[in-house]
């Protein structure tokens, strides 16, 4: 038998059904296309769909064969909406069929009128909520009057007990702003609607207080970096902010006239970065709060006597296209990361102390897509940096396996192919000791049966798949895939490897050795019509077998 690397058998697919219905609110028309309908499965599958729509009807594609709870968000005016959350009934959407969820309500308008003295209203907010049986209704409206009087209109579902409350935001003559709440009240909202009035005598602004100022002065000292120092950057942030670029390894700096507001002192957040020339990247200095007092100059120094070292990435296995990688080195408030160089090393510069370098990030740009793998290996030993000695960092050992996850909407016989837009997956490593990892991959485009390629260390990953179909967002599902440990495949005749304990592959001839890997998924491509996948234990398994060996 001969085999080559192939497409993945991991597949995120839906057998679609449709939730449709009509929408009406007496005396009101849905505004534009801002309204939305969403459906969430109630069987614990995590499936859902949502879309925007306009007009009096909607049609929502969801994975068929599941019960759904429906939620409507209806914009009845440009600056107001009503949300209807329906906990029951649920709607069973059959595969290839449809279920109907209509939303028809009697509504009336709530009018808010506000009058203030001593300022100008720059924003009004009004909230209304009610509940009947298994439904809850929430309305929200807003307006920007910019006058001493203002009003807004909020259409709301009629109910004998609608709770109404709101907020008024005012700008006073000195430019200061102040807000107050409109007290909550219960109103019986009938056909003729209701009015809410509110007046407010805005408190006068306090007399102006003198602004106090102080300063920070110090030194940025970076030693043992003459051959690769580029520049430093220091920053102070508080009631005001200032920053400076410093172009010498040892440079004084001063932040003068830092505002303390009306206080006599203020804690300024101060931090600094030093940027290097290749092959190093940068170093973030420990941040701290510096107390600045009125009329005084506080001292804040940055100091780093650097040692240098390299970490080698020993990476075997499959790699994403157009990939790169970077690793972190941090401890005691010092932080940095560096990208891998052509010699497979990352370069770090740090002062004496104890550091960890447990995190590694891989990412790449396969055709029309993006991929990222992030892992934290907590078993890596801490690194001690000693003055006068090079930094010794253990090599980072990494073996990876790749697979494709294919997205598909399973159409009925003779139906046109359904296109999927920008599908993507999120995933995380499960049941791993001493390590955590996450996956992300997406396809940037619209096509039928798109795929995303993921690369990760061997292990089992929980995958969540998403995409858009016909302008609406759909959760394609969640499942687990297992990336098996690659097996060395030597050159020769009748070479036998077992990438999975239950699977044996015999290569008739291998001219150049490599590695053979496997991915196991509970999902796979549809079998031909009239056929199904047989699983003696009831648990289907699909295998993606790939090899770098030349056969």
Higher pLDDT, 321 or 355: 355
What is the structure's pLDDT at 503?
Answer: 75
**DSSP summary character for residue 28:** B
What is the structure's pLDDT at 10?
Answer: 63
Among 72-76, 287-291, 430-434, the minimum mean pLDDT is found in: 430-434
- Using a 10 angstrom Cβ sphere, with 0-12 exposed, 13-18 middle and 19 or more buried, the burial of residue 160 is exposed
Work out the average pLDDT over 421-433. Answer: 94
What is the structure's pLDDT at 530?
Answer: 61
CA–CA distance, 547 with 550 (Å, rounded to integer): 8
CA–CA distance, 26 with 104 (Å, rounded to integer): 8
Q: Which CATH class is domain 107-201?
A: mainly beta
pLDDT at 345 over 50: yes
What is the structure's pLDDT at 517?
Answer: 66
Instruction: Give the pLDDT band (50/70/90) at residue 545.
Output: confident
Higher pLDDT, 161 or 527: 161
Query: φ and ψ at 359, to 5 degrees?
Result: -105, 135
What is the structure's pLDDT at 536?
Answer: 52
CA–CA distance, 198 with 200 (Å, rounded to integer): 7
| Beta-carbon contacts of residue 60 (< 8 Å; ≥ 6 apart) | 18, 19, 20, 37, 38, 39, 49, 50, 51, 472
Beta bridge partners of 115: 149, 199
Instruction: Give the pLDDT band (50/70/90) at residue 475.
Output: very high
Instruction: Give the pLDDT band (50/70/90) at residue 3.
Output: very low
pLDDT at 422 over 80: yes
Work out the average pLDDT over 469-498. Answer: 82
pLDDT at 426 over 60: yes
pLDDT at 90 over 90: yes
CA–CA distance, 60 with 91 (Å, rounded to integer): 12
Q: How far is CA 230 from CA 71, 282, 303, 505, in A?
A: 56, 9, 16, 55
Work out the average pLDDT over 306-326. Answer: 91
What is the structure's pLDDT at 277?
Answer: 97
List of E strands, 410-502: 420-430, 435-443, 446-447, 451-456, 459-469, 472-483, 487-489, 492-500
pLDDT at 6 over 70: no
Every domain of the chain with CATH number 2.60.40.1120 lies at: 213-305
What is the structure's pLDDT at 490?
Answer: 75
Q: How many helices (H) and strands (E) does the chain have?
A: 0, 47
Higher pLDDT, 271 or 11: 271
Work out the average pLDDT over 63-74. Answer: 96
pLDDT at 95 over 90: yes
pLDDT at 286 over 90: yes
What's the pLDDT tens digit per position in 495-537? 777 666 677 778 877 887 777 766 666 666 666 666 666 555 5
Higher pLDDT, 441 or 551: 441
What is the structure's pLDDT at 532?
Answer: 64
pLDDT at 110 over 70: yes
DSSP β-ladder status, 103-105 and 16-25: parallel
What is the structure's pLDDT at 481?
Answer: 87
* CATH T-level topology, domain 213-305: Immunoglobulin-like (2.60.40)
Confirm if 360 and 324 have CB atoms less than 8 A apart: no
What is the structure's pLDDT at 515?
Answer: 72
- Using a 10 angstrom Cβ sphere, with 0-12 exposed, 13-18 middle and 19 or more buried, the burial of residue 174 is exposed
pLDDT at 113 over 60: yes
CATH architecture of 16-105: Sandwich (2.60)
What is the structure's pLDDT at 7?
Answer: 32
DSSP β-ladder status, 297-299 and 213-223: parallel
CA–CA distance, 84 with 73 (Å, rounded to integer): 6
Whether a cis peptide bond, with omega within 30° of 0, leads into 37 is no
Q: State percent of the chain over pLDDT 70.
A: 91
What's the pLDDT tens digit per position in 349-376? 999 999 999 999 999 998 899 999 999 9
SS (HEC) of 369-393? EEEEEEEEECCCCCEEECCCCCEEC
Pick from 62, 48, 49: which is nearest to 14 by CA? 62
What's the pLDDT tens digit per position in 186-214? 999 999 999 999 999 999 998 888 889 99
CA–CA distance, 4 with 132 (Å, rounded to integer): 62
Whether a cis peptide bond, with omega within 30° of 0, leads into 169 is no
What's the pLDDT tens digit per position in 232-257? 999 999 999 999 999 999 999 999 99
Pick from 307, 311, 433: which is nearest to 360 by CA? 311
Confirm if 405 and 371 have CB atoms less than 8 A apart: no
Q: State percent of the chain over pLDDT 90.
A: 76
Work out the average pLDDT over 56-62. Answer: 96
Average pLDDT for the chain: 91
What is the structure's pLDDT at 1?
Answer: 28
Query: φ and ψ at 495, to 5 degrees?
Result: -80, 130
Confirm if 351 and 385 have CB atoms less than 8 A apart: yes
What is the structure's pLDDT at 9?
Answer: 47
List of E strands, 158-264: 159-171, 177-189, 194-201, 213-223, 229-237, 241-246, 250-259
Instruction: Give the pLDDT band (50/70/90) at residue 283.
Output: very high
């Amino acid at each position: 038998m001969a085999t080559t690397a192939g497409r993945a058998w991991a597949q995120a697919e839906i057998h679609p059904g449709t939730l449709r219905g009509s929408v009406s609110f007496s005396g009101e028309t849905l505004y534009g296309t801002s309204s939305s309908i969403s459906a969430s499965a109630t069987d614990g599958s995590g499936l859902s769909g949502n879309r925007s729509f306009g007009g009096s009807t909607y049609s929502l594609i969801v994975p068929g064969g599941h019960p759904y709870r429906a939620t409507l968000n209806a914009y009845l005016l440009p600056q107001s909406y009503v949300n209807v959350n329906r906990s029951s009934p649920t709607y069973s959407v059959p595969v290839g069929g449809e279920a109907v969820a209509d939303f028809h309500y009697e509504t009336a308008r709530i009018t808010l009128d506000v009058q203030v003295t001593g300022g100008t209203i720059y924003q009004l907010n009004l909230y209304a909520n009610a509940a009947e049986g298994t439904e809850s209704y929430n309305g929200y409206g807003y307006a920007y009057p910019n006058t001493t009087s203002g009003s807004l209109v909020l259409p709301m579902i009629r109910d004998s007990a609608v709770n109404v409350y709101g907020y008024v935001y005012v700008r006073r003559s000195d430019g200061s702003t102040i807000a107050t709440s409109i007290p909550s009240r219960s109103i019986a909202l009938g056909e003729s609607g209701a009015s809410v009035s509110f007046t407010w005598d805005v408190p006068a602004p306090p007399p102006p207080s003198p602004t106090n100022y102080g300063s920070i002065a110090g030194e940025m000292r970076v030693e043992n970096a003459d051959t690769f120092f580029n520049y430093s950057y220091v920053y102070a942030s508080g009631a005001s902010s200032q920053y400076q670029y410093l172009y010498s390894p040892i440079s004084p700096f001063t932040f003068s006239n830092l505002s303390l507001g009306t206080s006599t002192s203020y804690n300024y957040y101060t931090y600094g970065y030093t940027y290097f020339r290749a092959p190093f990247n940068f170093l973030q200095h420990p941040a701290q709060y510096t107390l600045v007092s009125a009329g005084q100059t506080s001292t804040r120094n940055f100091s780093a006597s650097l040692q240098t070292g390299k970490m080698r990435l020993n990476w075997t296995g499959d790699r994403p296209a157009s990939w790169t990688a970077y690793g972190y080195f941090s401890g005691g408030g010092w932080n940095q990361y560096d990208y891998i160089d052509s010699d497979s090393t990352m370069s770090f510069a740090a002062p004496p102390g104890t550091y960890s370098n447990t995190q590694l990030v891989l990412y790449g740009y396969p055709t029309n897509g993006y991929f990222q793998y992030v892992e934290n290996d907590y078993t890596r030993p801490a690194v001690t940096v000693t003055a006068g000695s090079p930094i010794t960092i253990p090599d980072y050992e990494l073996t990876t396996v790749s697979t494709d996850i294919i997205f598909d909407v399973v159409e009925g016989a003779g139906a046109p192919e359904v296109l999927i837009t920008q599908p993507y997956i999120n995933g995380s490593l499960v049941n791993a000791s001493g390590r955590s990892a996450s996956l992300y991959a997406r396809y940037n485009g619209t096509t039928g049966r798109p795929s995303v390629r993921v690369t990760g260390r061997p292990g089992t990953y929980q995958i969540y798949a998403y995409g858009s179909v016909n302008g609406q967002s759909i959760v394609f599902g969640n499942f687990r895939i297992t990336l098996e440990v690659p097996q060395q495949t030597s050159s020769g005749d009748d070479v036998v490897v077992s990438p999975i304990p239950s699977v044996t592959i015999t290569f008739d001839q291998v001219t150049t050795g490599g590695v053979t890997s496997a991915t196991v998924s509970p999902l796979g491509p549809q079998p031909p019509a009239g056929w199904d996948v047989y699983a003696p234990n009831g648990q289907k398994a699909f295998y993606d077998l790939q090899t770098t060996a030349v056969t």
